[in-house]
Amino acid sequence: MVNGFIILFGLTMLYLAATSRIIAHIRVLIVQGFLLFLICMSGSEHMNWLNIAFLTIETLVVKSIVIPAFLYRVLRKTHSNRDVAANIPHFYCLVIASIILLAGFLLSNYYISSIKLISPMFFGVSAATIVISLWLITIKHKIISNVIEFITMENGIFLLSLSVAKEMPMLVNMGVLLDVFIAVYILGLFVNEINKEFNDLEVSHLSDLKDYEYND
């Protein structure tokens, strides 16, 4: 059952790479948060009640509800519905993301299968998620898209930590969660200011801000 949830998590990254609709990207975050909750609960017999409560809040509440709701609010204010100016067409994005995901499976089964502390399925999908997220950040032009891919990358890191140990340190979880929440909040404010100034959310406008400051 856990492997099925992990495979579904990996497939969400393919959907993220294939679509240009930003609202669909936010929905991917909701699905990923729910899948992470199911993955965590599948190994809950090895955890105490405090870890279970914290992981439930982190995955089901913050990742699936709070952060997507905040991004929905930013999306409504900026009216940025699609990211159609990517450097690579979305069909090729899907093909490349599929290759990365397949490579994650193959490499993890080949190199990680001999290490007992790390599950190849966990490691393969999480590593592929991190790589796909970083790659999408480099080719997307909308700032809000980069924010979403930053969150999917953190979800991949979260899944990777699950592959290393069944019971994660509480302080590490809290630190990662706090960093992500603050980063999303600050980036949301940043997106609003960029949209007010330029009525657009292209990453290229960041260089315009730099040039304007230099000329002053």
Instruction: Please state, in angstroms and rounded to a whole number, the distance separating the CA atoms of residues 207 and 112.
Output: 42
Reduced to 3 states, what is the DSSP secondary structure of residue 21?
strand
Instruction: Per-residue pLDDT tens, the chain, 216 aa: give them.
Output: 788 899 999 999 999 988 888 889 999 999 999 999 998 888 666 667 777 787 788 888 888 998 888 888 878 877 667 766 566 777 888 899 999 999 988 887 776 655 556 677 888 898 899 999 999 888 877 777 888 888 898 888 888 877 665 545 454 565 566 566 656 666 666 666 555 555 554 545 555 544 444 444
- Residue 111 carries which DSSP code? I
DSSP 114-138: T-TTS-HHHHHHHHHHHHHHHHHHH
Determine the pLDDT at residue 47.
67
d(CA 70, CA 33): 15
pLDDT at 45: 66
Q: For residue 78, what are the CA distances in angstroms to 63, 87, 123, 195?
A: 22, 22, 36, 6
Say which amino acid occupies 174: M
Predicted TM-score (pTM) of the model is 0.78
- pLDDT at residue number 215: 47
pLDDT in tens, 89-134: 778 888 999 999 999 888 877 766 555 566 778 888 988 999 999 9
Contact present, 62 and 181 (Cβ < 8 Å):
yes
Rounded to a whole number, what is the distance in angstroms from the first to the last CA of the chain? 60
